[in-house]
Amino acid sequence: MAKRQQTYSTQADQLKDDLRHLSETVEELVNATAKDASGEMNDLRTRAERRLKDTRARLEARGERLYDDTRDSLTQQADACDRYVHENPWTSIGIGAAAGMVVGMLLGRR
């Protein structure tokens, strides 16, 4: 679990760096537009487009990895829950009944 948190923290830091680079490029583009230098403007636009494409690609890849990791984690947790219920059916019935009573009591107070 700690390893996943470090991985997510690292990914969050990379995302922050990507967004910082993108914002710096956009800021440079805005400053260059104020000067209205066509050669410099084209260079900055090219750099902005390239960074934007790179950032989008990285964000899509990270989003897919995060989705896959989350799906795998939930699948493992559901499998563990299923195994527990099959190995301890009476305990599971008791837990379900207790949870039902608590929910019923809370709803009955309304």
- In angstroms, rounded to a whole number, what is the distance separating the alpha carbons of residues 18 and 54? 9
Helix axes 38-87, 89-108, angle to 10 degrees: 110
Per-residue pLDDT, 105: 92
Per-residue pLDDT, 3: 64
Per-residue pLDDT, 107: 92
Q: What is the pTM of this model?
A: 0.50
| H/E segment holding residue 58 | helix 38-87
Per-residue pLDDT, 4: 63
Low-confidence ranges of the chain (pLDDT < 50): none
Do residues 6 and 14 make contact, with C-beta atoms less than 8 angstroms apart? no
